Amino acid sequence: MLQNRKTRVGTIVSDKMIKTAVVSIETQQRHRLYGKITKKRTRVKAHVEIPVEVGDLVRIVETRPLSKEKRWIVQEIVQKGKMAAWQPLSSDEQVLGVVEEKMTGEVEPVTAGPDNIDQEETSGTQNDSVN
């Protein structure tokens, strides 16, 4: 009986509900005429009995309706995921003007934009004597 059920592999997106997790399933399809590969993401609610975290890769199996929206159950964790900590890029720091504070307590401001813009504005190269 279990062989006839649909199985999918997806990523846990949310685990804030009790015994329920939101799983994102990504599929790829080739366009019939143009041949471009498009990605389609489907979010389904799945029943969870084992402890899972956001980012885990899980296998879900189709089951009878458990509630209004739950038709899947988490069968196993394929791979434990890790939440990636967001770290700004060096270009983001320059654009945002982020201040970096070192362990010694020194504050080092980061300037944004090219340095030659400030020089042009102060040098007065514009011709204001146009009649």
**Span 48-104, pLDDT tens digits:** 999 999 999 999 999 999 999 999 999 999 999 865 444 445 555 544 454 444 445
Q: Give the model's confidence band at 121: pLDDT under 50 very low, under 70 low, under 90 confident, else very high.
A: low
- The better pLDDT of the pair 103, 128 is held by 128
Three-state DSSP at 44 gives strand
pLDDT at position 86: 44
Burial of 48 (0-12, 13-18, 19+ CB in 10 A): buried
The confidence band for 127, taking pLDDT boundaries of 50, 70 and 90, is low
Regarding pTM above 0.75, the answer is no
pLDDT score at 98: 47
Sign of the dihedral through C-alpha 62, 64, 68, 70: negative
In the chain the domains, ranked by start, together with CATH numbers, are: 2-79 (2.40.50.140), 90-121 (no CATH)
Q: Residue 55: which residues within 8 A CB-CB, separation 6 or more? A: 11, 12, 81, 82, 83
